[in-house]
């Protein structure tokens, strides 16, 4: 199963269309990554409204708060993780992976990393994905650690930290791509050749998410629709 979506659900303006942006978005793509949860908590009725506006098969990827990743830097974060999981309860039936994006300067501390992953798994059995951005995270020992706790490592474009960041890692039961725009991050459009190559690489994978984060000039939505069409075309061949 492949899910293609964008970071947020901003859509090109079209007058006289029914429903909210999310309502319309969710009728064209099968997932979305919620980035606003990185910056602030949302009320239960907000999560509930988002769940109610979307089809039964639609899923939300959920970016963990910066209080966990950027402020506490994964250290002693059990109360913060518990609070975030409680916040997600109204959307639980449509929750996809939780994304933990680490600061570029956050180097690996093996003890903190294992304590964090063990704590996360004691609280949350669902899919989780890590996006490290420091070179120290791209080692065989980290790969073993992520496999041990069933956590995927995101593939990022452009890669940060090490060339290996361009490819998915960790637990391969989930493959998760975050496409930020290249060469100009958040701005650049992805050409047809890139999307066709990506289609070929993920075609044989069973549980793949591709999130376009090149939102500054509104390329993300059109790129996502194009990739979704290419995947459908390839599946029919």
- Domains of the chain plus CATH, in order, are 2-235 (3.20.20.410)
DSSP secondary structure, 29-76, as one string = -SEEEE-GGGTS---HHHHHHHHHHS-TT-EEEEEPPHIIIIISTTTT
pTM of the entire predicted model:
0.95
In this predicted model, what pLDDT tens digit does every residue of 13-41 receive, in sequence order?
665 667 888 999 999 999 999 999 999 99
pLDDT value at position 14?
61
Question: E strands within the chain?
Answer: 2-6, 31-34, 59-63, 95-101, 128-131, 152-153, 155-157, 169-170, 175-179, 208-212
Least confident of 119-123, 157-161, 231-235: 231-235
């Amino acid at each position: 199963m492949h899910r293609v979506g964008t970071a947020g659900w901003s859509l090109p303006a079209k007058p006289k269309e029914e429903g909210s942006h999310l309502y319309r978005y969710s009728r064209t793509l099968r997932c979305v990554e919620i980035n606003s949860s990185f910056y602030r908590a949302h009320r239960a009725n907000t999560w509930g409204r988002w769940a109610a506006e979307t089809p039964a098969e639609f899923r939300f990827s959920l970016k963990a708060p910066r209080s966990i990743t950027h402020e506490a830097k994964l250290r002693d974060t059990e109360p913060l993780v518990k609070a975030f999981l409680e916040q997600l309860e109204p959307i639980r039936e449509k929750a996809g992976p939780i994304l933990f994006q680490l600061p570029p300067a956050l180097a690996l501390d093996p003890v903190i990393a294992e304590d964090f992953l063990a704590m996360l798994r004691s609280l949350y059995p669902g899919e989780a994905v890590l996006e490290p951005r420091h070179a120290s995270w791209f080692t065989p020992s980290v790969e073993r650690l992520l496999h041990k706790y069933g956590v995927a490592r995101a593939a990022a474009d452009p890669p940060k930290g090490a060339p290996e960041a361009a490819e998915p890692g960790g637990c391969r039961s989930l493959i998760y791509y975050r496409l930020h725009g290249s060469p100009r991050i958040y701005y650049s459009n992805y050409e047809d050749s890139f999307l066709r190559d990506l289609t070929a690489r993920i075609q044989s994978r069973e549980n793949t998410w591709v999130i376009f984060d090149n939102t500054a000039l509104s390329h993300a939505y059109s790129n996502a629709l194009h990739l979704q069409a290419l995947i459908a075309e390839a599946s029919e061949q």
